[in-house]
Amino acid sequence: MNKKYIVENLEFDTKFKTPKEIEDLKFKRDQAIGIWDIEGKTDDERVSKLFDEVQNYMGVYLCSLSYCNNQPHALTSFM
């Protein structure tokens, strides 16, 4: 079953990163904020996949990820 989640914020590991790499990661972070469509059988499986997919997109370990279920939201129009 597919479900949409709204990624509201994420923090990534900056250890051993140059200032240029951090700037590039901040740009990627800004692009990652928004709606993500995740497939899974249970909520726990979908949340785990959401974290993994965002982390894979970023290319670095995430320190935190905040999200909510798809709903009317200031970041997006409701889908």
**Strand order in 62-69's β-sheet?**
34-39, 2-12, 62-69
Contacts of 66 (CB under 8 A, 6+ apart): 7, 8, 9, 10
The model's pTM is 0.87
Residue with the bigger pLDDT between 77 and 16: it is: 16
- The pLDDT tens digits for 49-73 are 999 999 999 999 999 999 998 777 6
CA distance to 15, 41, 48, 55, per residue, from 8 (Å)? 23, 23, 16, 14
The per-residue pLDDT of the chain, averaged, comes to 92
Average pLDDT over residues 23-28: 98
In the chain, % of residues over pLDDT 70: 91
The whole-angstrom separation of Cα 21 and Cα 67 is 25
Q: Give, as one character, the DSSP assignment of residue 61.
A: -
